Amino acid sequence: MAYTTIDDPSAYFQAATWSGSASTDTITFGGNSDLQLDWLWTKCRSNGHSHALMDTSRITGGDYLPLFADTTDVEQTAYDSELQSITSDGFTVGTQPHAGGDGKTYVGFAWKANGGTTASNTSGSLTSTVQANTDAGFSIITYTGNNTGGSTIGHGLGAVPEWIMTKSRVATKPWQCYHKSIGNDHFIDLDSTNAKVSASASWSNTTPTSSIVTLGNGDTNHTGAMVAYCFSSIQGYSKFGSFEGNNNADGPFIYTGFKPAWVMTKNVDASGKVWFVWDNARDIDNVTNHTVSPDGDGTEQNDSTGAENRIDMLSNGFKIRATGTHINPDGQTLIYIAFAEQPFVSSEGVPTTAR
């Protein structure tokens, strides 16, 4: 059995839910460890508002400027009061609709990087500004794109990234993403339901290394300010992979080596298929069936019929419990991104007991 390197995943990732009010709201995480976040992803559950992504590397004039996961929009200044402050164990939001608002309900996902401390990285041909947490395999990278294929940026992880999200901050461009399971000659857009796309313009047909990411002359390297979120897998804490659907309610079991706190999937073989995100804050018991989809601004879905968005989060992975073509199409490939609530085996080799 694989030992973990992180006994308490709540020190690096947590999900939370809250209800908005007519004033500011402070959300306190409930995990085993205090979490002072560096990347926050919020979504209104009850109303149709965009997914807002904010981080401690992109602060202008004291404001955390959101990017919307479901749009190609530029970095937002009109919604600069979504995230108002970060506490030692949570965060405070205002009354802007993507993170707070009277009578609305929300979910948020938070990752820890390096406490907002960045460093210049000259490993690539383009100098990047990096905030890296090598223990958790996560870095936030800002850089100035030059629209030149073969350009490279340093990521600071000391390990090969397996999941990368990139976005232009200054141009209406899509969220182009790399996933190890679709390779260096394809990309997938987070903000759309499209299938994977074969193109050299994103990664120049070059797999990331333990020090750099190679960019193309497309939307991963648009001229001007860019941001990238990079993840490498950490045993017992995070995993990035793929599985084949079988169109059966007794669906595939995906071994992760931990009980998931957060899972995101996407059918990459067929267009018109949505991304799904599940978490342990909205569903504390199985079946886990409350989802939000980063390709759209719609309300939270709760599929009681079992046709689409139903999974079980288990002590060592997750199992598909639905038959629909978005989540379990026969013979088609889905990618997944998962983060842990609890490792299956502790760092001392002792099996844990997931709740």
What's the pLDDT score for residue 355? 44
Neighbour-count burial of 160, counting CB atoms closer than 10 A to its CB (0-12 exposed, 13-18 middle, 19+ buried): middle
322 φ, ψ (degrees, to nearest 5) = -140, 165
Contact present, 263 and 278 (Cβ < 8 Å): yes
Q: What's the start-to-end Cα distance of the chain, in Å?
A: 19
- State whether residue 104 is helix, strand or coil: coil
Residue with tokens 């995100």: 277
- Other Cβ atoms within 10 Å of 172 Cβ, number: 10
Query: What's the token pair of residue 30?
Result: 């409930």
Predicted model pTM: 0.96
pLDDT by 10s per residue, the chain, length 355: 567 889 999 999 999 999 999 999 999 998 888 899 999 999 999 999 999 999 999 999 999 999 999 999 999 999 999 999 999 999 999 999 999 999 999 999 999 999 999 999 999 999 999 999 999 999 999 999 999 999 999 999 999 999 999 999 999 999 999 999 999 999 999 999 999 999 999 999 999 999 999 999 999 999 999 999 999 999 999 999 999 999 999 999 999 999 999 999 999 999 999 999 999 999 999 999 999 999 999 999 987 666 788 999 999 999 999 999 999 999 999 999 999 999 887 766 777 864 4
Vertex 264: Cα angle to 324 and 58 (nearest 5): 145
Which amino acid appears at position 53 of this protein? Answer: L
What's the pLDDT score for residue 48? 97
Q: Could you tell me the residue ranges of all domains in the chain?
A: 9-111, 119-231, 238-343
